[in-house]
Amino acid sequence: MAAALMSPTPFFRRFLTQRSKPTISCCSHSFKFKRQYTSVMIVPTGIGAAIGGYAGDALPVARALSTVVDCLITHPNVLNAAMLYWPMPNTLYVEGYALDRFAEGLWALQPVHQNRVGIVLDAGIEEDLRLRHLQVADAARASLGLPIIEYIVTDTPLEVEKWIDPETGKSTGRIRHPDSLIRAVRNLVNRSKVNAIAVVGRFPDDDTDDVDDYRLGMGVDLLAGVEAVISHLVVKEFKIPCAHAPAMSPLTMSLSLSPKSAAEEIGYTFLPCVLAGLSNAPQYLVNSSESTERNFISVSDVDSVILPRDACGGDGTLAFARSEKNKPLMISVEENDTVLNDTADKLGFETLQVSNYWEAIGVVASHKAGINPFSLRRNKIPNIGCASMHLNGHSISRERAIS
């Protein structure tokens, strides 16, 4: 694999001046005040990402990155690991549709202490499987103290359908009765005043052959694409945090199981991580420019964005990359390949390409410190260049003009 960090480009040099932080003197002491450093980590769902395409296997990256930045914004695909999760106080759990609107500057994020979480259960879930999910909810309330208020069952089975898009190779799908889901959420919101929603849809049970590659840590997550469709539908309609957990019959035990997929094999449901994430997910401010709230995060607060090298075509990524004001440093990770081929150069913008997440986190640490990351590499800082000025139509060097 080619060396990832290339020589400095005009793209990166802009950040050395645009992101400088002021030093403020107070009395006889000098205090350095820097605004919080905010990073966004994106691993699109259902695209077979080598890291983040399975059962929460990008969570270690998020954990490491969260110790370097002041605020990390990411989405359920990165943080959800079925029965497993990890609390990170400075990490915001933002659903994908909301993250796109945030990147476009249409929505802002309002951090909270806790949300009132409601659960929507698909009427198609069998009684024993429904009971398993309700026991998980009660366990989260009693053992974790999570603010889970009430549940509701849809008036009609959702009838989840899933497939692989033949053009892109990513997973997708639909629910045949979206109105039933909308009615259930509206009932919970109006009656119980919940402001975050966990949806549990009954997914069709797969033949073992269909999931063998996924269980071995290869291929595409067949569930992920339609899970995003479901949460997008709720967030678009109600503008509150939402995440989805699939309900399925347990698979037969496998003697050949990848550690990347193993989190989905250790319990009866995928619900615990969703409840933990939603319990303190930020609320969405739709008209942030008109808001009187002071404690919110807008797109102008984002300093860097990290994403797979060939998955740069999402709405949020394009919005970040094409921002004309306070454009964040875009970092693409070569090692995290996907089934897509949406590279930054094909889409007409630049990223700082690194080999892996080790390097990405190092670049973020340098950027936060106000240090050119190329100065940490061997022979990556060339002699300083000389700018030219034009006088009466003639180009002259800056040194000559000054003399």
Average pLDDT (130-159) is: 97
User: CA-to-CA distance for 67 and 376, rounded, in angstroms?
Assistant: 20
Give yes or no for a contact between 105 and 301, defined as CB atoms under 8 angstroms apart. Answer: no
User: Which residues make Cβ contacts (< 8 Å) with residue 60, sequence separation at least 6?
Assistant: none
pLDDT confidence of residue 104:
96
Report H helices in 239-395. 271-279, 315-321, 344-347, 357-369
Q: What is the pLDDT of residues 277-308, one digit of tens each?
A: 999 999 999 975 555 556 899 999 999 999 99
DSSP code at position 318:
H
pLDDT confidence of residue 94:
98
pLDDT confidence of residue 267:
84
Within a 10 A sphere around the Cβ of 289, how many other Cβ atoms? Answer: 9
pLDDT confidence of residue 396:
53
Strand partners, 40: 73, 305
Question: For the chain, how big is the Rg over CA atoms in Å?
Answer: 23
The topology under which CATH files domain 32-111+282-379 is: Rossmann fold (3.40.50)
User: CA-to-CA distance for 77 and 61, rounded, in angstroms?
Assistant: 12
pLDDT confidence of residue 6:
47
User: CA-to-CA distance for 198 and 242, rounded, in angstroms?
Assistant: 6
pLDDT confidence of residue 9:
57
pLDDT confidence of residue 28:
42
Quick one: pLDDT band at residue 399, thresholds 50, 70, 90? very low
Percent of the chain with pLDDT strictly greater than 90: 72
pLDDT confidence of residue 112:
97
User: Which residues make Cβ contacts (< 8 Å) with residue 340, sequence separation at least 6?
Assistant: 44, 47, 168, 169, 170, 310, 311, 313
Quick one: pLDDT band at residue 257, thresholds 50, 70, 90? confident
Q: What is the pLDDT of residues 106-127, one digit of tens each?
A: 999 999 999 999 999 999 999 9
Question: Mean pLDDT score of the chain, rounded to an integer?
Answer: 88
Q: What is the pLDDT of residues 147-184, one digit of tens each?
A: 999 999 999 999 999 999 999 999 999 999 999 999 99
Q: Which CATH number fits domain 114-279: 3.40.50, 1.10.3470, 1.10.287, 3.30.1450?
A: 3.40.50
32-111+282-379 and 114-279, same CATH topology: yes
Quick one: pLDDT band at residue 207, thresholds 50, 70, 90? low
**Domain residue spans of the chain:** 32-111+282-379, 114-279
Quick one: pLDDT band at residue 26, thresholds 50, 70, 90? very low
Q: What is the pLDDT of residues 337-346, one digit of tens each?
A: 999 999 999 9
Q: In this model, does residue 2 exceed pLDDT 70?
A: no
User: CA-to-CA distance for 53 and 311, rounded, in angstroms?
Assistant: 12
Lowest-confidence segment of 22-26, 170-174, 322-326, 373-377 by average pLDDT:
22-26
What does residue 306 show for φ and ψ, rounded to 5 degrees? -120, 130
Q: In this model, does residue 268 exceed pLDDT 70?
A: yes
Kindly report the length of the chain. Answer: 403
